[in-house]
Chain A
Amino acid sequence: MSSARRARVKMKPFKACRNCKSLVDREAEVCPICKSTNFSEDWEGALFVVSPEKSEVAKALGISRPGRYALRVR
């Protein structure tokens, strides 16, 4: 159990789409937003947008739909 727990702590729960920067489940094969298949495990920072129409941060980044996004994708 301890090894499973350690693995969970080490691994990031999401992977990021290199095209639209959205964070998707690790199992997903196609990005649900832009249908791209180009994913990256190497991302930093995240923005969870709840209300894109009211959020200044989402506006500054040009995000118009609620969801989870990475701030830097490599």
Chain B
Amino acid sequence: MSSRAMYYAIKVTGGREVDVALLIESRSKALGQEVYSIAILPDLKGYLVVEATGPEAIYNVTKELKYLKKGAPRKLSFSDIELFIKPKPAIELIKEGDLVEVIAGPFKGMRAVIVSIDRAKNDVELNILESEFPLTIKVPGDYVRVVRSGEG
């Protein structure tokens, strides 16, 4: 039972999540505490999720830590944080007409507009804006990053 991981949400100063996580990481290594991982969840400002064997490990690594806010660590279940850690495929976030930046391949660094999306093949068709003649190419969905949404 004691070796099973439990999850605790710790409240910290907003914007200092990385600093606190680095401190907890080095402390848990130095003190040999049973901390397995520290997660900074996107969209959840001011909280850290620490995976550890139990509350005593959390207490030992967070004792007198800077940027820590008052309050007992809250226990979470894996299903609570699962939604945050599982990444959405990049292609789900792209819409036709979006202005994107190509981030890999021979057209890396260029801006383009999405013409069509093939979700089954994970491909997107782009119109490269920086070329002198109309140039339409097909690249994998993870090769682009949305700069601005096209419609609304």
Q: Using a CB–CB distance below 8 Å, which chain A residues touch chain B?
A: 9, 12-14, 18, 38, 40, 42, 44-51, 54-58, 60-61, 68, 71-72, 74
Contact = CB atoms under 8 A, between A and B. Distances in A.
11 contacts: A38-B104, A45-B40, A46-B18, A51-B35, A54-B36, A56-B78, A57-B51, A57-B78, A58-B37, A60-B82, A61-B86
Interface stretch (B21-29, B62-70, B112-120, B124-132): B21-29
Contact of A57 (B42, B85, B87, B145): B85
A73 B41 CA distance: 13
A50 B87 contact: no
A74 B145 contact: yes
B103 A40 contact: yes
B84 interface: yes
Nearest to A73: B87
Interface residue SS majority, chain B: mixed
A14 B85 CA distance: 19
Interface in B64-102: 78, 81-82, 84-87, 90
Size band of the interface chain B makes with A: 20 to 34
Contacts of A50: 25, 28-29, 35-38
A48 B90 CA distance: 23
B37 A46 contact: no
A60 B7 CA distance: 14
Nearest to B35: A50
B60 to A, nearest CB: 14
B137 to A, nearest CB: 19
**Residue of A12, A50, A72 ringed by the most chain B CB atoms within 10 A:** A50
A57 B50 CA distance: 10
A45 B40 CA distance: 5
